[in-house]
């Protein structure tokens, strides 16, 4: 998986994670080439080939979701596509799988290595509490949860309106520091990684890793803001089969 991203976090033995990139797949422009999204008007056969290659390469069963920018968390179910924005699993070989192209993918595990979870956090889901909901899917205390923040839009590219800033500050006033005035009147540049860290800290999660990416600037990854007609890459976390 040298062309894919392996999270740098102190996950316990047996917990594996991976983020795919655009390269090595069957899709043609503008979805070139390892697009895993089946909802972006790509050739369904190409997407099916890419998903099959992912399953074979990782030797896992990805549990795909229909993501709707909400906060529902479901048990990962490879045999069906559930509508939710986060999933959890205690079953070895079942990968909690999130697709993104600027939104924040967050991967979770407990220190015991007995449960994993993944969440899709656009600004709406992040403000509504999808990360907190994913943490709450564990029986463990939040202080025993590890989180890794994957590739998302960087703070130099994430321009938002006043309503987005107010949505976060209304719940957590300290998140005001994650917004700086943008070049356009009434707009702000938002740091989605800082927002995530502040929300997780307020929920009792201190072990947060990753961040520092920018899908908009890093062409290894798909970016909706860079090109609205684009593919989706996946972030996966699973318990290794023994």
72-77 average pLDDT score: 98
Compute the distance between CA of residue 24 and CA of residue 41 in angstroms, rounded to an integer: 19
Strands 15-19 and 233-239: antiparallel
Backbone Cα Rg of the chain: 17
Give the number of other Cβ atoms within 10 Å of residue 199's Cβ: 24
Specify the pLDDT at position 166.
97
Percent of the chain with pLDDT over 70: 99
Is the confidence at residue 1, as pLDDT, over 60? no
Give yes or no for a contact between 43 and 32, defined as CB atoms under 8 angstroms apart. Answer: no
State mean pLDDT over 214-242.
96
Domain locations in the chain? 15-239
Whether residue 33 is predicted with pLDDT greater than 90 in this model: the reply is yes
| Domain 15-239 CATH (choose: 3.40.50.10470, 3.60.140.10, 3.90.226.30, 3.40.50.2020) | 3.60.140.10
pTM above 0.95, yes or no: yes
Share of the chain above pLDDT 90, in %: 98
Q: What is the pLDDT of residue 64?
A: 98
pLDDT interval class at 242 (50, 70, 90)? confident
Whether the CB-CB separation of 88 and 76 falls below 8 Å is answered with yes
What is the C-alpha separation between 146 and 148, in angstroms, rounded?
7
Mean pLDDT to the nearest integer, 78-88: 97
- pLDDT for res 30: 97
Phi, psi of 64, rounded to the nearest 5 degrees = -75, 150
pLDDT number for residue 226: 96
d(CA 19, CA 150): 8
Give the per-residue pLDDT at 144.
Answer: 98
Considering only CA atoms, which of 158, 153, 145, 160 is closest in space to residue 200?
A: 145
Q: State CA 108 to chain mean position distance.
A: 10
Q: Name the band, by pLDDT with cuts 50, 70 and 90, for residue 84.
A: very high
pLDDT computed for residue 241 by the predictor: 87
Mean pLDDT of 208-230: 97
Helix (H, G, I), strand (E, B) or coil at 49: helix
Residue 209 sits at φ, ψ, to 5 deg, of: -125, 175
Torsion of CA 107, 52, 233, 133, to 10 degrees: -30
Strands 61-63 and 73-75: unpaired
- Report the pLDDT averaged over residues 57-77: 97
pLDDT category of residue 27 using cuts at 50, 70 and 90: very high
Alpha carbon distance 20, 32 (integer Å): 13
**DSSP H helices in the chain:** 44-58, 123-128, 130-136, 162-171, 192-202
Name the nearest CA neighbour of 20 among 32, 3, 7: 3
Query: pLDDT tens, 142-157?
Result: 999 999 999 999 999 9
Q: State both tokens at 184.
A: 């356009």
2 confidence band (pLDDT: 50, 70, 90):
low
Count of beta carbons in the 10 Å neighbourhood of residue 144: 15
Q: Residues 123-148: what's their mean pLDDT?
A: 98
């Amino acid at each position: 998986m040298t062309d894919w991203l392996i999270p740098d976090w102190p996950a316990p033995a047996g917990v594996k994670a991976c983020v795919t990139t655009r390269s090595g797949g069957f899709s043609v422009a503008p979805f070139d080439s390892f697009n895993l999204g089946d909802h972006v008007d790509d050739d369904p056969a190409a997407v099916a080939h890419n998903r099959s290659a992912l399953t074979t390469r990782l030797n896992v069963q990805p549990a795909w979701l229909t993501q709707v920018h909400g906060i529902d968390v479901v048990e990962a179910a490879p045999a069906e596509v559930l509508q939710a924005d986060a999933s959890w699993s205690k079953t070895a070989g079942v990968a909690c799988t999130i697709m993104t192209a600027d939104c924040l993918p967050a991967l979770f595990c407990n220190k015991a290595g007995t449960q994993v979870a993944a969440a899709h956090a656009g600004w709406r889901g992040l403000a509504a509490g999808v990360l907190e909901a994913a943490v709450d899917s564990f029986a463990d205390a939040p202080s025993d949860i590890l989180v890794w923040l994957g590739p998302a839009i960087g703070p130099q590219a994430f321009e938002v309106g006043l309503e987005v800033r107010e949505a976060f500050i209304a719940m957590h006033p300290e998140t005001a520091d994650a917004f700086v005035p943008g070049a356009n009147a009434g707009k702000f540049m938002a740091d989605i990684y800082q927002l995530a860290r502040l929300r997780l800290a307020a929920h009792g999660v201190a072990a947060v890793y990753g961040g520092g990416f920018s899908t908009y600037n890093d062409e290894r990854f798909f970016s909706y803001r860079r090109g609205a007609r684009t593919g989706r890459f996946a972030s996966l976390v699973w318990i290794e089969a023994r």
